[in-house]
Amino acid sequence: MTGNFRVSRRTLSARRVALLATTIAGIGAAALVFSPGTYPHSALAGAAQAQNLTEKVQQLPQRPVGFADIVEKVKPAVISVRVKIDRPAESSLSEDDLPFPPGSPFERFFKRFGAPNTPRGHEQITGQGSGFFISRDGYAVTNNHVVQNAENVQVTTDDGKTYTAKVIGSDSRTDLALIKVDGDNFPFVKLAESSPRVGDWVLAVGNPFGLGGTVTAGIVSARGRDIGAGPYDDFIQIDAPVNKGNSGGPTFDVDGNVIGVNTAIFSPSGGSVGIAFAIPADTVKSVVAQLRDKGTVTRGWIGVQIQAVTPDIADGLGLKQATGALVSEPQKDSPAAKAGIQSGDVITSLNDAPVHDPRELARKIGTMTPGTTVKLGVVHSGESKTVSLTLGTLPNDKQASNEQNQRDQREVPDSDMPNLGLTLAPASKVSGAGGVGVAVTAVSAGGVAAEHGFQIGDVILEVGGKPVSTPADVRKSLAEARGEGKHTVLFRVKSNEGTKFVALPVGNA
């Protein structure tokens, strides 16, 4: 419709409310006329109820019938990101790629004429993703995995223009990157100031399958998701369809603010199944601010290996609740070690705020500036205390050191513990096991130890909080735990994945 006949959706909504109120009032009046035994005050009551309901309806928050107005506002700020990566070329054909079984008479023909191997050398790989401008002067956010190792980065805006972009900095731990396009008049969007609630509407905008700007809608399905991507996982889960090429694109709320950056999907088939994950806006803010200032991200560090407190571990430590972060090993000369934190301690609070699990502790410490002084609430040997320490800087190359699994077991006197399903020997007698602890030389399939993750090559350092160096020490510690009426006992174990605590049920060994 045109001219004077144009009616907005908001006007229609107001008319619907008025119509509803009129209808309700009419129902009240009808009750007065046709209901036997009614009195004038009943009409007044019916009218009052109708008026009350009308006011409540008018107070309901107005929601858009569609998302066109929001999309029109934010879509120009969303960009397509294309990268070129130079890498050593690999053979383009493997035995698994052949459509014929090995030895088939067609095999040689197919290799010769169907798909010749690519010669060794270098090849250019092209990748695609999404991103969005966060400033008028061309700063844009995308995923680290989109631009990682890129030789060339180009972005295409919503109006079809293509620009060359420079990678200002990236952070692999949060999978975020900041890129820059030369210019001073780009449309941009803002990061949300508040966190979304589960059930809120969201819009995902990006470049799925290289198709260009595409919009999908859904809701926030969950928050605080840990998908095993890294120590700082705190993803927003959404059900808006997100596919390959959406990586780095924004997720908007109904006000047009970015609540997250799309980074991963759960998909057995490779396409959207309604489970996608976005990096929260507050994480994006802190990371992007550091990347813009200095091109890198520095994080606070206390220097401990930590693990979750399971109910079995809580029972073994005598804790009332299975909460906090259990210190499996403080690293040498780390802030934690200098402050006196020991293996077996449980960190329960940070600056008087409860710590529920290791992931929460790592995420909070990681957002703090190195040099900051913090207070840790710690349970040590069953007693609570407060420890103050100054945060160090998380090393960029911090990785758990791995040791070789292979052990030379010749001429080593093994000791069987059938009820645990373990065969043990002094670590000093096992080649490559080191001089401390008791080495695991065999694990019975289906036994208690196997069910709890023990593997050949693991080294038991402590049992029940006491150092062990022989199988006899292990037996003695188990006997003492049984004598104290404990149901489980904690083993401190060094493995390829680092040092950790494992709770095993107490039994005869």
Give the global pTM: 0.63
**What is the tens place of the pLDDT at every residue in 307-316?**
889 898 888 8
Which whole-number Å values give the CA distances from 213 to 72, 139, 190, in the listed order?
12, 19, 18
Percent of the chain with pLDDT over 90: 41
DSSP per position, 422-446: EEEEEGGGSBTS-SSSEEEEEE-TT
pLDDT value at position 5? 37
pLDDT given for residue 39 in this prediction = 47
Q: Domain-by-domain residue ranges, the chain?
A: 16-59, 69-88+121-297, 300-393, 415-505
For the chain, the residue count is 509
Helix axes 40-59, 9-34, angle to 10 degrees: 160
**Known catalytic residue at 122:** no
- 145 catalytic? Reply is yes
Q: Among the CATH numbers 1.10.10.10, 3.30.2130.10, 2.60.40.10, 2.40.10.120, which is that of 69-88+121-297?
A: 2.40.10.120
Active-site residue, selected from the candidate residues 145, 233, 328, 357: 145
Homologous superfamily assigned to 300-393? PDZ domain (2.30.42.10)
Mean of pLDDT over the chain = 80
- Single out the catalytic residue among 247, 272, 328, 477: 247
- The string of pLDDT tens digits covering residues 388-439 is 999 999 876 443 333 333 333 333 456 667 678 888 888 888 877 778 899 8
Which residues pair with residue 191 across a beta bridge? 258
Per-residue model confidence (pLDDT) at position 50: 72
Tokens of 455: 């593997």
Q: How confident is the model at residue 27 (pLDDT cuts 50, 70, 90)?
A: very low
Lowest average pLDDT, out of 139-148, 167-176, 345-354, 478-487, goes to 478-487
**Class for the domain spanning 415-505:** mainly beta
203 burial via Cβ count (<10 Å: 0-12, 13-18, 19+):
buried
**Domains 300-393 and 415-505 equal at CATH topology level:** yes
Q: Residue 138 above 80 pLDDT?
A: yes
Q: What residues form DSSP beta bridges with 179?
A: 140, 167
Residue 505's CB: how many other CB atoms inside 10 A?
15
Q: Which of 80, 130, 171, 175 is catalytic?
A: 175
> Is residue 12 predicted with pLDDT exceeding 50?
no
Map residue 132 onto helix, strand or coil.
strand
Long-range Cβ contacts of 441-450 (<8 Å, 24+ apart): 441/407, 441/409, 441/412, 441/414, 442/414, 444/418, 446/421, 447/420, 447/421, 447/422, 448/419, 448/420, 448/421, 448/504, 448/505, 448/507, 449/420, 449/421, 449/422, 449/504, 450/421
* CA 502/CA 505 separation, integer angstroms: 10
Q: Is 269 a catalytic residue?
A: no
Give residue 109's pLDDT band: very low, low, confident or very high (50, 70, 90): very low
pLDDT surpassing 60 at residue 226: yes
- Which pLDDT does position 399 carry in this prediction? 35
Q: In this predicted model, what pLDDT tens digit does every residue of 66-92 receive, in sequence order? A: 899 999 999 999 999 999 886 665 554
